[in-house]
Amino acid sequence: MKVSMGEQNPRSSRERMTILGDVEAASFVPWIERHAAKLGLAQAICAAGPDRIELDIAGPAELIDMMEMGCSLGPIDVWVEAIRRAPIESESG
């Protein structure tokens, strides 16, 4: 079950997380989706390639930190070299 990026509480953060390394294993994107769901984070995969996965993620900052730690350790068939995070500005309107 995917949670919409719009469904978040006021204490939530929104970030773009870029995972760099040898991340082409077919199991990694589903693993990311399951891990985010277990943490109760909303996520949307923006791009996935052999050396980069980009996702938008929303939820409490502490849980996004936990997501980063989980992804850095990742499943055994990937090698994460770095994770970059950048805030996503909220759209007012």
Residue 2 lies inside a defined structural domain of this protein: no
Q: How far is CA 88 from CA 27, 55, 56, 78, in A?
A: 27, 11, 8, 26
Residue 1 lies inside a defined structural domain of this protein: no
- Domain containing residue 68: 13-87
Which residues are within 8 A (CB) of 28 and not within 5 positions of it... i.e. 6 or more apart? 53, 74, 75, 77, 78
* CATH code of the domain in which 23 resides: 3.30.70.100
Q: Could you read off the pLDDT of 41-92 as tens digits, one per residue?
A: 999 999 999 999 999 999 999 999 999 999 999 889 999 999 999 999 865 5
- Look at residue 11 and tell me whether its pLDDT is greater than 90: no
Q: How confident is the model at residue 35 (pLDDT cuts 50, 70, 90)?
A: very high
Q: What's the pLDDT score for residue 92? A: 53
Q: What's the pLDDT score for residue 61? A: 94
14 in Cβ contact with 29 (< 8 Å):
no
Residue 22 lies inside a defined structural domain of this protein: yes
